[in-house]
Structure 1
Amino acid sequence: GWQMGRALVLIGCLTAVVSAAGDTAQAIPGKPDGAGSYDNLVILLQEFLEWRSPPTVNGVVDYSPGAVSQRRAELRRYQERMRDMGVTRWTRAQEVDYLAVRAVIDEQDFILNVTRPWASDPVFYVDQMLQLTFVNFPVSGQDLQDLRTRLQAIPRIVQQAQAHLTDVAADNADLAIFNLTTPDGVGHGHPYREVPPAGVIGWYEDLLGRTREAQPDLTVDVATALGAVKAFHGWLTSNRGRMTAPNGVGKEALDWFLKHAKMIPYTSDEIVTLSQRELERTWASYALDRHRNRKLPELELARSREEYHRRLADTDARIRQFLVEEAFISIPDHIPTGWEEMGFNVPWIDRGTPPNFWEQVQYRDPSPDHLHAVIPGHRFDGRVEEKNAHPIRGRLSFGDRREGWAVYLEEAALLTGLFEDRPRTRELIYVFGLWRAARTLGDVRNQRNEMTAGETMAFWKEWTPWLDENVSRRYAYLRASPGHGLHYTVGSFLVYKLLAERKHQLGEEFVLKEFHDDFMSRGRLPVALIRYEMTGYGDEVREFWNHVPLSALKR
């Protein structure tokens, strides 16, 4: 049995290497053989991306049944054009681009026909209300006109919500009611206030107070908007009893979404198995490191903004030196050399409450999220992509590639020696990893309606040191498109898989820096598609060509 298995693996590898040698891809069942050219695909994507943001009238999108039906019909025309592409005659790289474009169109199909946030999720409307309250006064000219338009749109947004929220998920209703009246306890992206305003309503009251002093001509518009937001809260609380729809999309729909809209080569059952194993592995690594470090002092929280910023500056310098000296990845010339210009995710906030989860980690040592979110993670990644002029790859960004790369970097840096002189920081890397694994398990079970949001939060807090109510709440409620919580751990699985296969293919010719640079150069496409392009292995992509229209699902 073992010899037969080994022979099959060798045959598979040889087949893949042979197919990798040819530039033009082999015909695979399900691949379109129509009239459309690659240039037609580029034009289609450009039109689709413009279409994807629905038009607004006086700051409000129309989600009436007639408007939604029209959007569905327009989407079907894009899908018909996709089926008429001549992909059988294209190169492997062009095939990959086709599948990525098909995925973003399928994602919109899923939103229009399955998640339907305008009908199921009050937070969909609440999220449209908050940002404008952060405005800095004074404003004038076009900025003033734009602000007035947005303020005057708030009552119409509330009217839309009350008309169209006919199938509300219970968890979504509770989160909307909470967000309207209670600070989220995290505050990232919010202007600093010594006493955080009480939810969205509190931010409108804050805006009204500032308007009376700095921009009195807007007072009536702000007061009217505040009244509408309060009325929406009253409507939600009085109608909460009938808001009993399930929060998740169900197993069959989730599996379709993973394969078609995300190009993830695993079913939700496989993701549960893999993520459970990852949670156990990471907890075991954490336990072993805690034992190894038992005679060392614990890491202490920074005590001031100045101390935290000193730690950030030191972390940034250390990571950059490591990337260069250990030949980890190339740093292009246009990447800023300073940490302040690059930015960072976790600000210093003086709270009356204990630090939240992110702060518990980052205030001790900023390394985990600096790798993940600054360099060579998100901010570095984003600045590299800003230079991507490719007409398709420069315009798409998939979550498993963004988040999978960022999570991979955390433990990859640990394994290549970044923390040899900081053993306690290794523990923080594992805390980040086990949070992502627990989060994936919770997200899948929540979307399959096996756990409520509250049960998901309880599960996460049980398995994640320092995880607080506020951070867990922020992630327990999945928005219009499921999958965000899956991207982290599952994306990292796919990056590690590609690393293993590339090392196996190239043997002693494998160079880590070249691998990372090559991976980054291919854009933020699904990792499974990057794998096909880099290795020539076509097993996962062959499944993607077996395209099942969403309309064929039993719902």
Structure 2
Amino acid sequence: MNRLSYALVGALAVAAFGNSVAAAQTTPAAALSSAAADQAFTRLSDSYFDSYYFPTNPTMATADGLHDFDTKLEDYSRAGVDANIKTLQQWQAKVAAVDASKLGERVRGDRELVLNNIRSTLLTLRTIKPWQKNPDVYSSGITNSAFTLMERKFAPPETRLRDLVAREKLMPAVLAEARKNLDNPPLIYTQIALQQLPGLVQFFQKDVPSAFTDVSDSALKKQFADSNAAVIQSLQDYQSWLKTDLLPRSHGDFRIGAAAFRDKLKYDEMVDIPLDQLLAIDMANMKQNQQAFADVAKQLDPSKTPQQVLAELGSDYPAADKILDTFRGTFDKLIGFIELKQIITIPSDVRPIVEETPPFMRATTFASMDTPGPYETVAKEAYFNVTLPEPDWSAQRTKEFMAQFSYPVISAVATHEAYPGHYIQFLWMHKLDDRTRKLLGATTNVEGWAHYCEQMMLDEGLAAYVYPNHKRQQLLLRLGQLQDALLRNARFVVGIKLHTGQMTMDQAVDFFVKQGYQSRAVGEVETKRGTSDPTYLYYTLGKLQILKLRQDVAAKEGKNFNLQQFHDRFMQQGFAPIAIVREAMLHDTSPTL
């Protein structure tokens, strides 16, 4: 998964047949009533997607594989924001008016997904206000709109280029709206936008034209040259404006505050645990991971501290020009282990394409999975993006950056992003016959699943499979997994404390280094990310919820519990919040943690 959308707006349990026939015979009226209510809600949700969600988010529509809006662009104007708020309020009333008690279990979960999507978008537009605070929303947003048309060959190049020209003609106006909307943004947001912009300009100068070199229509090529030049000039002008005008008056606060943080967790993840309790849960898990790290480090070299062993771990990495090949080389072992141990059903033999991260995503991500949308029928390639060091970096900066690509960490990242993490979950989504579950979901499910896989695979014996009779290498794999777990533990604490005023950015960087066992370069990038991704605690939060769900399902099923069946049933729920998944798999509403 991990398709990114910088649009301003947005961001199958196979029911056991069992006693369903008998139930229908004994309560026909109730069954028919539920079926009718389910159908009515499905029509309502379809209308939400068709008349609002996709028309308002054309970039997301392209990414999802629906190409009716490929010539359109999001309305970034203040009038557009206000219109979206008004329309969303109307939709909120319509969906909230549906009586959940009359719906079947699955459709009841779909109603929660649609309603929370609306609530979350309203929270973003009215309270968090990235359209007013974050200049990168505009420049990276239009760049992503171009990228979705060029990254996959879902139509002939002439068709996609014609659509791109139509989008590009709308882009200068977006940057003009940015100048009207942006008001006292946080300094870090303006700095990040300025850091991104040279790469964005280069993207339009080099990457975009190179994607359409096989277009022969001279008139179309001339139109593209004109529209692309206008976008480049607009981005360069925007960069100058940010530097000379907006940067000196960027004194705003990036913190969203405790109330908005709680609401965002409630709407996005269906988690309403108090923030102080969440911090206590994560800190307890972090202490466990630190102790496990110390135990493994002692086995590797009892004469050294965990930090010294960590330094050695971070110094064992491939050359920069071999990183992509190293990632590709992990797939055979991971797939072989999954099949041998019957971890999960792999729906397809097609593998993701490993490539360098696109320029506009490099400032805030090291690796990501970019999969085709659930409705893409032609260009079905999935891309495993890896951020490489820049050629003009100093040797010291490159060394610190490369510490994240030690061989054990590469194995953990490949597990997280591909097998059996994001990529496998994406493959399962194509098996669903539920539009809401294909389009909406919770990050605690998506990232929680991938993070859970890192630990689960080693718990099931991956290290001994990859490195038979090499105890040191086995221990290093576990050490790499624990370092990644500590990174996610640190995100958990930093996200909450940054946005509730309990931690400064400098303290956050130090926390990543001292408690999360990361290099300072990684800590700086992670802290920057946290300023605009406040709830990036969803990795650990989701993993802990899945572990508890598995424990409770295993306790209920006893000797009949089967890991592959558990994982397959989990996949059948789509990307739903764990609370919904839990109700479907356990048929109760017990706490997720």
Residue number among 237, 251, 260 corresponding to 2:258 in the alignment:
251
Q: Which residue of 2 aligns with 1:552?
A: none
Superimposed CA distance per residue, residues 15-62 of structure 1 (whole angstroms, 9 cap, x where no aligned partner): xxxxxxx999xxxxxxxx999922222122222234134277985533
Is the contact between residue 352 and residue 384 of structure 2 (CA under 8 Å) also seen in structure 1? Answer: no
Residue number among 344, 351, 361 corresponding to 2:384 in the alignment:
344
- Bigger Cα displacement from structure 2, 449-458 vs 92-101: 449-458
Matches within 5 A, 1:268-417: 268-294=275-301, 300-303=316-319, 305=321, 309=325, 312-313=328-329, 315-332=330-347, 334-336=348-350, 344-346=384-386, 351=391, 353=395, 354=398, 360-361=404-405, 363-364=407-408, 366-417=410-461
Partner Cα separation in structure 2 for residue 403 and residue 223 of structure 1: 38
Residue number among 504, 522, 528 corresponding to 1:476 in the alignment:
528
Deviation at 1:124, TM superposition (A): 0.5
Distance change >3 Å, CA 148–CA 305, structure 1 → 2: same
Matches within 5 A, 1:121-136: 121-131=134-144, 132=146
SS for the counterpart of 2:269 is coil
Q: Which residue of 1 aligns with 2:29?
A: none
Matches within 5 A, 1:456-471: 456-469=508-521
Residue number among 418, 433, 450 corresponding to 2:462 in the alignment:
418
Distance change >3 Å, CA 23–CA 369, structure 1 → 2: farther
Q: Which residue of 2 aligns with 1:82?
A: 95
Partner Cα separation in structure 2 for residue 210 and residue 63 of structure 1: 28
- Bigger Cα displacement from structure 2, 439-448 vs 460-469: 460-469
Is the contact between residue 116 and residue 268 of structure 2 (CA under 8 Å) also seen in structure 1? Answer: yes
Residue number among 533, 555, 558 corresponding to 1:504 in the alignment:
555
SS for the counterpart of 2:346 is coil
Q: Which residue of 1 aligns with 2:471?
A: none
Is the contact between residue 125 and residue 161 of structure 1 (CA under 8 Å) also seen in structure 2? Answer: yes
Superimposed CA distance per residue, residues 116-137 of structure 1 (whole angstroms, 9 cap, x where no aligned partner): 221121111121243448969x
Partner Cα separation in structure 2 for residue 528 and residue 153 of structure 1: 41
Is the contact between residue 59 and residue 150 of structure 1 (CA under 8 Å) also seen in structure 2? Answer: yes
In the superposition, the TM-score normalised over structure 2's length comes to 0.73
Is the contact between residue 275 and residue 437 of structure 1 (CA under 8 Å) also seen in structure 2? Answer: yes
The residue identity in structure 1 corresponding to 2:127 is: V
Deviation at 1:472, TM superposition (A): 3.9
Is the contact between residue 44 and residue 78 of structure 1 (CA under 8 Å) also seen in structure 2? Answer: no
Partner Cα separation in structure 1 for residue 323 and residue 185 of structure 2: 46
- Bigger Cα displacement from structure 2, 461-470 vs 528-537: 461-470
Distance change >3 Å, CA 36–CA 158, structure 1 → 2: farther
Partner Cα separation in structure 2 for residue 474 and residue 130 of structure 1: 22
Q: Which residue of 2 aligns with 1:228?
A: 234
In the superposition, the TM-score normalised over structure 1's length comes to 0.78
Superimposed CA distance per residue, residues 346-380 of structure 1 (whole angstroms, 9 cap, x where no aligned partner): 36768555256576335456320121111111011
5+ residue gaps, structure 2, are 1-21, 25-32, 59-68, 215-220, 303-308, 355-380, 469-473
SS for the counterpart of 1:423 is helix
Deviation at 1:77, TM superposition (A): 1.7
The residue identity in structure 1 corresponding to 2:386 is: V
Deviation at 1:294, TM superposition (A): 1.8
Deviation at 1:518, TM superposition (A): 1.5
Distance change >3 Å, CA 123–CA 350, structure 1 → 2: closer
Q: Which residue of 1 aligns with 2:111?
A: 98
Deviation at 1:275, TM superposition (A): 1.6
SS for the counterpart of 2:537 is helix
The residue identity in structure 1 corresponding to 2:496 is: V
- 1:531 corresponds to 2:538: no
Deviation at 1:404, TM superposition (A): 0.5
Distance change >3 Å, CA 307–CA 85, structure 1 → 2: closer
Q: Which residue of 1 aligns with 2:13?
A: none
SS for the counterpart of 1:344 is strand
SS for the counterpart of 1:330 is coil
- 1:146 corresponds to 2:163: yes
Is the contact between residue 279 and residue 493 of structure 2 (CA under 8 Å) also seen in structure 1? Answer: yes
Partner Cα separation in structure 1 for residue 199 and residue 322 of structure 2: 29
Partner Cα separation in structure 2 for residue 516 and residue 249 of structure 1: 35
The residue identity in structure 2 corresponding to 1:389 is: D
Distance change >3 Å, CA 34–CA 445, structure 1 → 2: farther
The residue identity in structure 2 corresponding to 1:512 is: L
- 1:264 corresponds to 2:280: no
Superimposed CA distance per residue, residues 457-496 of structure 1 (whole angstroms, 9 cap, x where no aligned partner): 343233344535367426623587742x121010001001
- 1:451 corresponds to 2:520: no
Superimposed CA distance per residue, residues 363-410 of structure 1 (whole angstroms, 9 cap, x where no aligned partner): 456320121111111011101111211233233232110110111111
Is the contact between residue 128 and residue 260 of structure 2 (CA under 8 Å) also seen in structure 1? Answer: no
Q: Which residue of 2 aligns with 1:5?
A: none
Q: Which residue of 2 aligns with 1:436?
A: 488
Is the contact between residue 161 and residue 224 of structure 2 (CA under 8 Å) also seen in structure 1? Answer: no
SS for the counterpart of 2:260 is helix
SS for the counterpart of 1:392 is helix
The residue identity in structure 1 corresponding to 2:500 is: R
Identity %: 19
Distance change >3 Å, CA 309–CA 207, structure 1 → 2: closer
The residue identity in structure 2 corresponding to 1:525 is: A
Superimposed CA distance per residue, residues 408-459 of structure 1 (whole angstroms, 9 cap, x where no aligned partner): 1111112222113422111100111000110111111222233354543343
Partner Cα separation in structure 1 for residue 166 and residue 520 of structure 2: 38
Partner Cα separation in structure 2 for residue 246 and residue 311 of structure 1: 39
Q: Number of matched residues?
A: 490
Q: Which residue of 1 aligns with 2:27?
A: none
SS for the counterpart of 2:343 is coil
The residue identity in structure 2 corresponding to 1:367 is: S
Superimposed CA distance per residue, residues 64-106 of structure 1 (whole angstroms, 9 cap, x where no aligned partner): 4443332222112212112221322233333222222222121
Q: Which residue of 2 aligns with 1:28?
A: none
5+ residue gaps, structure 1, are 1-21, 25-32, 181-197, 544-555
Distance change >3 Å, CA 530–CA 439, structure 1 → 2: same
Partner Cα separation in structure 2 for residue 512 and residue 424 of structure 1: 25
Deviation at 1:256, TM superposition (A): 1.8
Distance change >3 Å, CA 356–CA 258, structure 1 → 2: same
